[in-house]
Structure 1
Amino acid sequence: MTGRIILTCGEPAGIGPELAGKALASGVDFAFLGDPAHLPPDTAWSEIQTPDAPVPAGHLPVLRHDFPAPATPGRPEPANAAATIAVIARAVDLVMCGRAAAICTLPINKQALIEGAGFGYPGHTEYLAHLAGGVDVAMMLASTTVTPPCRVVPATIHMALERVPDALTPDLLERTIRITHAAMIRDFGIADPRIAIAGLNPHAGEGGTMGRQEIDWIAPLILRLQGEGLTLIGPLPADTMFHAPARARYDAAICAYHDQALIPIKTLDFAGGVNVTLGLPFVRTSPDHGTGFDIAGKGIADPASTIAALRMARDMATARG
């Protein structure tokens, strides 16, 4: 790994600014990209002009990005929306030109960005894919404190459940499998990743009595990709995929829809879960929680997921070399 990790400020009215200072406990070499005026008053920080500049021990390195308005905990300021978006783009510029090792993003509030700056993307993931040149990406949620690990990739993400059967196409599932397979090799150092595929329907369709997608195209797709040498398991009933003996059989699981993937990992490792964007030309991780407006400014935000996200970014960047 070469260079520091960039920790973007996220929504300044949320818990991100207080998590930045607490994340120094991670032991990861990172720099905060944002407005130092938004940090808690007791934060020890030093401004740096370049991502790799040294700072005194125990100080948070800050790449300054001034915002037009102060941050009031729990109350997003529309005037700050454009700067929040600009910080993400600046971080991508730094990592794409080799001046940073990876990006770890603190949470944003999509509604605040849409209302304040007309943000045209469902979230971080889609915006990062755009900044990277329109690449195909997938969202992984990865555990850090449970064994065997739980790594889940939803093929469809933020959509109404009624839309999932039409949205889950053979092309989408194949692209998700290929992105996941490549990322497990490149970012996690697993030479021959074992990937489990969940069925769409209860009991994976139970022989067609509860739905035919598994018979009609999911199983044939898996068989075809197995013929190319990919180690795939499934389609499997999702309700028996996530206890420890089942997880020991695979390295990552691809699920049909959002809750099928996120309920198990948030149950198993709520504080230690990390959001990873697969398929980008750079490493990007994020804590697996939101802006925490209800607790912002109270100093009680748990940094565990941010620390886990920084450590995973470091490890993935090291795996990439």
Structure 2
Amino acid sequence: MPEQFASNANAAVVRRRPILAVTCGEPAGIGPEVSIRAAWERRAEINSVLIGDAAFLAMIAAEIDPKIRLVALSQQALRNNGLPNFGLDQVAVIDCQLEAHVQPGKLDARNGRPVLRTLDLAIDCALQGIFDGIVTAPLQKSTINDAGVPFTGHTEYLAERSATPQVVMMLATDRTTPPLRVALATTHLALKDVAAAINFDSLSRSIDILHADLQKKFGLKQPRILVTGLNPHAGEGGYLGREEIDIITPVLDAAKARGIAVSGPYPADTLFQQKYLAEADCVLAMYHDQGLPVLKYASFGHGINITLGLPFIRTSVDHGTALDLAAAGLGHADHGSMLAALDAAAQMVQAGRQGKA
């Protein structure tokens, strides 16, 4: 290929790459390391823009591999001029400075608000169309709360900051055949509060959001959704609870009338078998620890977390801050889940582009 055409082709590849904001999470955990490793490894396919303390990230990058090239950009420059067209041999960093020195494995509440500011910046820029999506590394909820900011998790915060009335949390993995997706009707609630949170309107909206985003972001024309019951044995005909009779079944009947391929409610303890999952695109579980243990057992470290219903794409890793691994030094953390989160977000961007074509 002549040199001038090769140069033009390379520029076209750079422009086509999905632009994903990557918030690096709790600085004392493994988030910065897995973010840098994954962003660098996928730099040819994905324009990952790290958001965090530029000097701190540069120090980690140099220890991981001196060949890693990070290019710092100030928040003001981003807001004034937008995101430059970075090449394939570098990764951009939007500088969000920390307030306290980082000791791996040791939490410091002084860094709680700066960590939250990385998320704020990513959300604002995604809403403005600067980023095609957001990928989040794990953060420490306790550090943000200790900094004086009430915080229950990424999912709830993203919904609040984007003025989204309701979102659906879904974890997914392609390490199973077929790929396993588990969505949740409720998220980070105490178990004693779950039953009261499941009502006709909320569950109906969850199913509508799940159906719409499986179509839009995953390219599934008629997604098939299996729904668990809330109680053991799906209520045992009312003897172990009436939520299946009074709420879940009427919701499913109404969803079917709207043309949604949904079925259930099924006992959660027997639903996760190949003979059922082979006929499904997603399982909707009623609460956090009802559905997620199955998925994490099948794919921990390589699964992803997806927030559905937002006005932008958001994926995340399936693990926490792993302070113990961070304290042990670089090289102990597996960045497989971050790679999967980047790949999934990029695939959703592509599905969205094809849908608009």
Normalised to the residue count of structure 2, the TM-score between the two structures is: 0.85
| Equivalent residue runs for 1:109-120 within 5 Å | 109-116=140-147, 118-120=148-150
**Match of 1:318?**
350
| Equivalent residue runs for 1:70-219 within 5 Å | 70-116=101-147, 118-219=148-249
Q: What is the rounded CA distance, in whole Å, between the counterparts of 1:155 and 1:56 in structure 2? A: 40
**Match of 1:293?**
323
Q: Is the 2:54–2:72 Cα contact (8 Å) retained in structure 1? A: no
Q: What is the rounded CA distance, in whole Å, between the counterparts of 2:165 and 2:190 in structure 1? A: 24
CA-atom RMSD in angstroms? 1.7
Highest relative contact order (Cα 8 Å, sep 6+), 1 or 2? 1
Q: Look up the equivalent residue of 1:46 and give its one-letter code.
A: L
Size of the aligned set, in residue pairs, is 319
Identity within the alignment, %: 39
SS at match of 1:246: helix
Q: What is the rounded CA distance, in whole Å, between the counterparts of 2:128 and 2:189 in structure 1? A: 34
Q: What is the rounded CA distance, in whole Å, between the counterparts of 1:203 and 1:14 in structure 2? A: 40
Question: Moved runs in structure 1, 4+ residues, more than 6 A?
Answer: none
Q: What is the rounded CA distance, in whole Å, between the counterparts of 1:97 and 1:292 in structure 2? A: 33
- Report the Cα offset of residue 143 of structure 1: 1.0
Q: Structure 1: which 5+ residue stretches go unaligned?
A: none
Q: Look up the equivalent residue of 2:337 and give its one-letter code.
A: S
- Which of 250, 255, 259 is equivalent to 2:280? 250
- Report the Cα offset of residue 2 of structure 1: 6.5
- Report the Cα offset of residue 68 of structure 1: 2.3
- Report the Cα offset of residue 121 of structure 1: 2.8
| Equivalent residue runs for 1:208-287 within 5 Å | 208-287=238-317
- Which of 37, 60, 76 is equivalent to 2:55? 37
**Match of 2:79?**
none
SS at match of 1:296: helix
**Match of 2:91?**
60
Q: Is the 1:6–1:32 Cα contact (8 Å) retained in structure 2? A: yes
- Report the Cα offset of residue 3 of structure 1: 4.5
| Residues 85-94 or 41-50, more deviating | 41-50
Q: Look up the equivalent residue of 2:230 and give its one-letter code.
A: L
Q: What is the rounded CA distance, in whole Å, between the counterparts of 2:250 and 2:103 in structure 1? A: 54
SS at match of 1:289: coil
- Which of 328, 332, 340 is equivalent to 1:308? 340
Q: Which has the higher helix share?
A: 2
Q: Structure 2: which 5+ residue stretches go unaligned?
A: 1-15, 74-81
Q: Greater Rg, structure 1 or structure 2? A: 2
Q: Look up the equivalent residue of 1:319 and give its one-letter code.
A: A
